[in-house]
Structure 1
Amino acid sequence: MGAEGAVAIAAAVFAGSVALLGFGLDSAIEGLASVVIVWRFTGARTLSDTAETRAHKAVAVTFFLLAPYIAYDAITTLIAGNHARTSWLGIGLAISSLIVMPVLGIAKKRLGARLGSAATSGEGTQNLLCAYLAAGVLVGLLANTLFGWWWLDPIVALGIAALAVREGRQAWRGEDCC
C-alpha cells in the first residue's frame, strides 16, 4: 500500500491529476486501516467486542479523511480549468491495482465474515474501493490522454470523494459495504 500510494502521489504531482492524487491518498489511508486491523487482533483485544467496535469506527474514519481534500481539489481544478498531463506511470499503476486489489479485498471480506469482524470486512472494502478508484482513475487518465477530456479527471475525483463518504458511513455502522 505504501509503495502504491507513493508512486500514485508522485505520478499525480507530475501529471497534475487530482483523481490520481485521490487514488494515492486512498492507498495511504488503506495502509492506516491495515494498522488498525493489526491492532484489533493483538493481545487481549482478540476477543474484545469493545476493540471490534473501536476498530470498525477507526476504519470508518479513514474513509472520511480522504473526501474533503479531494472534493476541494477537484472543484478548484474544474473552476480553474487545470488540465492534467498524460501519466503512463499512473495508467500502469491503475491497471495493476485493478488486478490485485479485488483479490485482496475479497480475501479480507471473507476473513472478516469468518472472524465476525466488521472492522476486517470494512478494511477489505477499502481494498475493493481501491479497485473501483483504479478503474475510475484509469478511465479519466485514458480519456484525457486519448481524447483531451481534461475535465473527466476532476469529475472522477469527485466520485471518489462521494464514494468514500458513503462507504465511511456504512463502515461506521459496522455494515458490510460494497
Structure 2
Amino acid sequence: MKLGFIKTALVMGLLSSTSVFATTGTITFTGMVLNSTCAVSVNSTTPDGTVVLQPVLNNAFASLTDGEAISTNAQNFTLTLDSNCPSSGVVPYFVNNAANVHTNGTLKNRTNAGDAEYVAIALYADAAGTEQNKINITEDLTQVKSTGVNNVFPYTAKYAKNGSTSDITTAGLVNASVTYALTYP
C-alpha cells in the first residue's frame, strides 16, 4: 500500500514539476471599426494631388551634397483627413518604393529625355521645411511624421541634389511621385 502511495506521489510530483518552469504571458489585440473609410485630400482637393515647385537655376545645386536640399523655392502642401477619420492617432506616412525613392530618402526624378539630371525632391514634415523634420522615406513607418492639427498635416517639398558635388545638375523637367498611407492608433 505504501509503495503504491509513493509511486503515485512520485508520478504526481514529476507531472506537476514541469509546469513550474512554464512561462506565461498575455497578447492583447486592438483595432478599430470605422463606419466609413477615412479619406485623404492633397491641398484640400482630391486624394491624388500635384505640388508645383517654382523653377530654380541649375547652378543652385553646384555645392550641394547628395540628398541636400536647396533652401529657396520650397513649396508647402497639406494632407487633410476627412471627418470619417478618427480625431486623433491617425498619421500619414510616405511609402518606400525603390522605383520612386533614392537610398538617401529623397524622391527620384524621372529619367526621360528632357528631364533634369542629378536632382531629386526632399520632403519635410512641417510647413517651414526645417532640417530636423526632413523625411527619409526609406524609413517607412519610423520616418519623421508631421504633427497635424484638426486632421490637417503640413509638409514642405524642396529641390534636392541627387549625386556628389562633382555631378553637374542639368536643366530640364522635374517630375517625382510618392505614395502616402495612413497609420491608425
TM-score by length of 1: 0.29
* Larger relative helix fraction: 1
Which entry has the higher C-alpha Rg, 1 or 2?
A: 2
Structure with more relative contact order (C-alpha pairs < 8 Å, separation 6 or more)? 1
TM-score by length of 2: 0.28
